């Protein structure tokens, strides 16, 4: 009999924000992929009541496909079902609960990066500590999907308190200010395979046509509002710029270091800004990136020549439950990112 795969995610109301509703797109797409790989599928949506997971223990599926991005609308709670699954001994895809919890908390992430001697922008948790001579970007501590990032997110130090207060009133939760790094932005997707973790092609956000009167950031509209000024002017490009070889090697080394430092598994993404002097700064470590076909992670996989079913196959195999069918053949072309990862690994850049 075909093995069972349970697609696990948070409860999503159709009227929710588009970033939360996108979870259902991911579920539908992965359900089709899992069935094509030979699995019987089922779906479970969770709110803050986690008792349905305990009932799974009596007849567990072979694998839980972990798509929990938030519980009760809070991304900071996404690790809780993973913790329960670990206690119950039910295998699931992606990062362990501890890594999910740590990387969702941006302040905890930055503290660990700083202790490890890795470059991350300065930050303040108290508005009065913000240097008025610097620019700061105000962010949610434990939310993702660029929540709260808009044309007013970057402020001078003397306006940090005002901006944090406004975000708390509108969204609730915890907020902090990070020193704003003016420059380029890169996404480094990582995928485990038979030879260990590999780097998929590096994506850069192209700000060439970005509105001149706004800070160059990937804000909420850029991700979730088709037709908005920032949606139209933040394309992702994979072609390296001339002279970028050393920078891209440094970005890759830092991404691999983050993989080890945070105890990641299966797949992940590390986001960077690079300042005018060419220095990279780690912004975030995403242990649970979206696997929808139109998301950046799958775009990088496609650039690497990997079909979606091959990506899912690798993620399942890493979780200890390889699909029953024969492996698919990778698509041709686009392997620069994977070759870079292999080269770095072979040269001893990472363990």
189-207 pLDDT per residue, tens: 999 998 899 999 999 999 9
Q: What is the 3-state secondary structure (H, E, C) of the chain?
A: CCCEEEEEEECCCCCCCHHHHHHHHHHHHHHHHHHHCCCEEEEEEECCCCHHHHHHCCCCCCEEEECCCCECCEHHHCCHHHHHHHHHCCCECCCCHHHHHHHHCHHHHHHHHHHCCCCCCCEECCHHHCCCCCEEEEEECCCCCCCCCCCCCEEEHHHHHHHHHHHHHHHCCCEEEEECCCCEEEEEEEEEECCEEEECCCEEECCCCCCCCCCCCCCHHHHHCCCCHHHHCCCEECCCCCCCHHHHHHHHHHHHHHHHHCCCCCEEEEEEEECCCCCEEEEEEECCCCCCCCCHHHHHHHHCCCCHHHHHHHHHHHCCCCCCCCCCCCCCCCCHHHHHHHHHHHCCCCC
What was the pLDDT predicted at 27?
A: 96
Q: For the residues 68-95, what does the mean pLDDT come to?
A: 96
What was the pLDDT predicted at 145?
A: 73
What was the pLDDT predicted at 70?
A: 93
129-150 pLDDT per residue, tens: 999 999 999 999 998 878 889 9
Domains and CATH numbers, the chain: 4-93 (3.40.50.20), 121-179 (no CATH), 184-346 (3.30.470.20)
Q: Is pLDDT above 50 for 101?
A: yes
10-39 pLDDT per residue, tens: 998 766 678 777 889 999 999 999 999 999
219-233 pLDDT per residue, tens: 988 988 888 999 999
Contacts of 275 (CB under 8 A, 6+ apart): 181, 182, 183, 281
Q: Any idea which of 134-138, 229-233, 243-247, 342-346 has the lowest mean pLDDT?
A: 342-346
273-313 pLDDT per residue, tens: 999 999 999 999 999 999 999 899 999 999 999 999 999 99
What was the pLDDT predicted at 241?
A: 95
The overall average pLDDT reported for the chain is 91
149-171 pLDDT per residue, tens: 999 999 999 999 999 999 999 99
Confidence of residue 338 (pLDDT cuts 50, 70, 90): very low
Q: Is pLDDT above 70 for 335?
A: no
């Amino acid at each position: 009999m075909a093995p069972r795969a349970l697609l696990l995610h948070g409860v999503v109301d159709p009227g929710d924000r588009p970033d939360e509703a996108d979870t259902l797109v991911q579920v539908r797409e992965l359900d089709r992929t899992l069935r094509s790989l030979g699995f019987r599928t089922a779906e479970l949506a969770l709110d803050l009541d986690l008792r349905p997971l305990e009932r799974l223990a009596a007849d567990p599926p072979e694998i839980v496909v972990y798509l929990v991005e938030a519980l009760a609308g809070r991304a900071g709670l996404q690790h809780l079902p993973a913790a329960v699954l670990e206690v119950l001994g039910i295998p699931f895809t992606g990062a362990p609960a501890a890594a999910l919890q740590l990387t969702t908390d941006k302040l905890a992430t930055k503290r660990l990066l700083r202790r490890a001697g890795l470059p991350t922008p300065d930050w303040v948790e108290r508005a009065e500590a913000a240097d008025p001579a610097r620019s700061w970007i105000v962010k949610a501590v434990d939310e993702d999907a660029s929540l709260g990032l808009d044309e007013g997110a970057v402020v001078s130090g003397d306006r940090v308190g005002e901006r944090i207060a406004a975000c708390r009133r509108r969204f609730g939760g915890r907020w902090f200010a990070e020193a704003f790094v003016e420059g380029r932005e890169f996404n480094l997707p990582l995928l485990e395979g038979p030879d260990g973790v590999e780097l998929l092609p590096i994506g850069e956000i192209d700000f060439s046509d970005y509105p001149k009167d706004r800070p160059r950031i990937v804000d909420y509209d850029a991700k979730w509002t088709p037709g908005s000024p920032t949606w139209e002017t933040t394309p992702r490009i994979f072609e390296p710029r001339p002279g970028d070889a050393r920078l891209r090697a440094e970005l890759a080394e830092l991404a691999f270091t983050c993989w080890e430092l945070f105890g990641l598994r299966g797949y992940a993404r590390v986001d960077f800004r690079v300042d005018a002097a060419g220095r990279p700064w780690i912004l975030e470590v995403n242990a649970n990136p979206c696997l929808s076909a139109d998301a950046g992670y799958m775009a990088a996989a496609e650039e690497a020549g990997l079909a979606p079913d091959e990506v899912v196959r690798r993620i399942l195999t890493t979780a200890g439950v390889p699909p029953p069918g024969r492996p698919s053949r990778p698509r041709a072309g686009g392997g620069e990112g994977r070759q870079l990862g292999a080269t770095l690994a072979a040269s001893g850049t990472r363990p």
